[in-house]
Every structure is written in C-alpha cells, then in structure tokens.
C-alpha cells in the first residue's frame, strides 16, 4: 500500500487564505481538519475514476478544496455542509465560479441520498460518492453504503485509519471482525492510501486512510442458504473471538451438543482449533449451510452492526 506523504505546496497556502477570508478558526470540537496535502487530493481524484458524466456526492466539503477539483471534472457535485461559516464561504467564494456545484446546508442522511439517486437516474448519470468523511458519522455512512450499494457506482472515502482497516480487513488481519464480514458480504472495499496527521490543518489526533468501495455483483456475493443463520453465526462467534471456533460456535448456538459442533465444523472443513478472526467468509457460508441442514434456528433481532466491534 502506498502512503500519501505530506507535500507543502500551493494547497497549504490556499487553505490558509481561505480560512482568513471565511474568518474561521478550525474547531477540533467540530472535527474541522482541512486537507493541505495535494498528493492526497491527487490520489483521491485518481481513485474516483471520474468522467464528465458523473454525478458526485460530497459530505462535509469544508473550504471546497476537493469540491472544486471534482466540479472541474464531472457533470455535477452535490455537497452537504452544516457549518454556517463554511456555508457562507462556499456560497460567496466557491459556488459563483462553479455553477455545477449544488450546496445544501443540511445533514447528510439516507433521505438526502435517495433524492440524489432519483435525480441521477432521471438524468441518466452514474452516481459516485467522493468525500473526506466527518468521522463521527462513519458508522451510519457505511450502513448507508450497504443499503444503497446497487445505486452507487463507486465510493472513495477518507476515514479514520482504524475504521478503514476494519472495513478492508481479511482473515488474520488485526482489524478483521464481524463488521468486516458484514460489509464485505455486499461491498468490495480496498485501501487506497494512508494519510498522516501532517496532511491536515490543524493535525488531528488520529491517523486517516482513503478507501475505495464498489458494490459486489450478484455473482460475487456470498450465497448462504439462510442469511439469518449466516449473520447470527458471524455476529456471535466474534463475541468470543479469543476462544477457538468450537467454543465460539457453542456460544453462538447454545442448544447444540459438543458432538454436533464437532460434526458441523468437520462437514464445513474448518479446523476446530482456529479462532473466529482466522476464518474466511467462504468458510462461514459453508458452516452456516451445514447448520441450516442440521435444522438450526437463528433469530436476529435487528441488532445494529458497528465498526467498533
């Protein structure tokens, strides 16, 4: 993975001037950390595979650094900004020279996205999300990506690095957990680059990373016979992630006898001494199918999947 290193160039000076014009002091309480690394900006633009027909959603445009770079390359940018001072700056200094940017001073949510999806479909334009995401909405945003995966051609998103590692993790990786599997059941995420703290003004206290996400085609999606059992299995074995899978499976389906657990793992071809974080998605699909064949029941009560798991 290529790291995006700090490059003190024109972008740094632009941000300083823009903050002076806007009469804004970056607020750590609001999570305001403005990108001043033009190499990171270039990597985001490249990863987004932009075309002149694209409609783009950007959440939290800030001073419009990424927004303008997008607007110069695509058909339309739909930007969502809540900070009053930044909204004034964008309307006074950015929008007049970029008529293809539509700015809404509302919180981005699934209902806002639905309107843009409808607009993109009606106008016949592909829709992408390209954003330096406000980190406090990461969980809700990732759930939204899953819900509307088939309507979004591509997403390029900057996240807290720890979250990005969980989203893209594979079996055996430190961040691999039930949320990794949940997302990767619907999406294909990959890491684009790490972003150091020095790439922002002011520097945040956490490291960041850029990821690229596509929806899986139907032929690529795991196809468990019973999704309730599959998700119940994954969700619960990771609650006992430090235990070997035979013990974790017994926890997930407490009504199973030890010999049934052993039989299920053997039939699925899974080493009973492995732990949950060392087992791949295909293995979990096979195991859930075996459990379904054994008549196991699972009731999922709509528990939210969180990236902190």
Residue 266: predicted pLDDT: 97
In terms of domains, do 197 and 160 share one? yes
What is the residue-level pLDDT of the chain in tens, covering all 309 positions?
444 443 445 677 788 888 888 788 877 767 788 899 999 999 999 999 999 999 999 999 999 999 999 999 999 999 999 999 999 999 999 999 999 999 999 999 999 999 999 999 999 999 999 999 988 899 999 999 999 999 999 999 999 999 999 999 999 999 999 999 999 999 999 999 999 999 998 899 899 999 999 999 999 999 999 999 999 999 999 998 889 999 999 999 988 999 999 999 999 999 999 999 999 999 999 999 999 999 987 765 444 455 444
- Residue 309 belongs to some domain of the structure: no
Question: Quick one: 204 and 232 in the same domain?
Answer: no
Q: Do 71 and 160 share a domain, yes or no?
A: yes
- On whether residue 146 sits in a domain, the answer given is yes
Q: What is the number of structural domains in the chain?
A: 2
In a domain, 20, yes or no: yes
In a domain, 272, yes or no: yes
Question: Does the pTM of the predicted model rise above 0.85?
Answer: yes
Specify whether 41 is located in the same domain as 138. Answer: yes
Task: Say if 72 falls within a structural domain.
Answer: yes
Q: Are residues 120 and 248 in the same domain?
A: no
Taken in order 154, 90, 18, 29, the sign of the CA dihedral is negative
- Per-residue confidence (pLDDT) for residue 29, from 0 to 100: 66
Buried b (16+ CB within 10 A) or exposed e, 33-53: bbbbbbbbbebbbebbebeee
Residue 114 lies in a domain: yes
Q: Are 98 and 74 in contact (CB under 8 A)?
A: no
User: According to the model, what pLDDT value does residue 10 have?
Assistant: 65
Q: Are residues 136 and 266 in the same domain?
A: no
Based on the fold, state whether residues 233 and 105 are members of the same structural domain.
no
Do 196 and 269 reside in the same domain of the chain? no
Domain housing 281: 227-293
Considering the domain architecture, whether residues 249 and 107 belong to the same structural domain is answered as no
> What CATH code is carried by the domain that includes residue 266?
1.10.8.100
For position 35, which CATH number holds?
3.40.50.150
Is 66 a domain residue?
yes
Indicate if 154 and 286 belong to the same structural domain: no
Is residue 202 in a domain?
yes
């Amino acid at each position: 993975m290529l790291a995006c290193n700090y490059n003190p160039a024109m972008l740094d000076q632009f941000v300083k001037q823009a903050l002076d014009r806007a009469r804004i002091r970056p607020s750590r309480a609001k999570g305001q950390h403005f990108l001043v690394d033009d190499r990171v900006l270039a990597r985001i633009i490249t990863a987004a595979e932009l075309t002149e027909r694209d409609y783009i959603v950007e959440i939290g445009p800030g001073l419009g650094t990424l927004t303008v770079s997008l607007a110069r390359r695509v058909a339309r940018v739909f930007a969502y900004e809540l900070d009053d001072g930044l909204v004034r700056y964008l309307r006074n200094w950015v929008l007049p020279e970029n008529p293809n940017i539509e700015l809404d001073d509302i919180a981005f949510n699934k209902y806002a996205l639905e309107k843009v999806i409808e607009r993109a479909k009606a106008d016949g334009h592909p829709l992408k999300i390209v954003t330096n995401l406000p980190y406090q909405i990461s969980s809700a945003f990732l759930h939204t990506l899953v819900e509307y995966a088939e309507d979004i051609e591509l997403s390029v998103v900057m996240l807290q690095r720890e979250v990005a590692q969980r989203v893209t993790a594979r079996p055996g990786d430190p961040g691999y957990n039930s949320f990794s599997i949940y997302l990767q059941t619907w999406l294909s995420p990959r890491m684009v680059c790490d972003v150091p703290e020095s790439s922002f003004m002011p520097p945040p206290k956490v490291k960041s990373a850029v990821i690229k996400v596509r929806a899986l085609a139907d032929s690529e999606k795991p196809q468990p016979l019973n999704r309730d059992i599959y998700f119940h299995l994954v969700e619960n074995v990771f609650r006992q992630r430090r235990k070997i899978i035979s013990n974790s499976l017994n926890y997930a389906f407490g009504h199973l006898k030890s010999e049934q657990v052993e039989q299920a793992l053997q039939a699925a071809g899974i080493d009973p001494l492995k732990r949950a974080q060392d087992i791949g998605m295909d293995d979990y699909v096979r195991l859930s199918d075996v459990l379904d064949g054994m008549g196991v029941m699972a009731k999922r009560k709509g528990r939210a999947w969180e990236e902190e798991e």
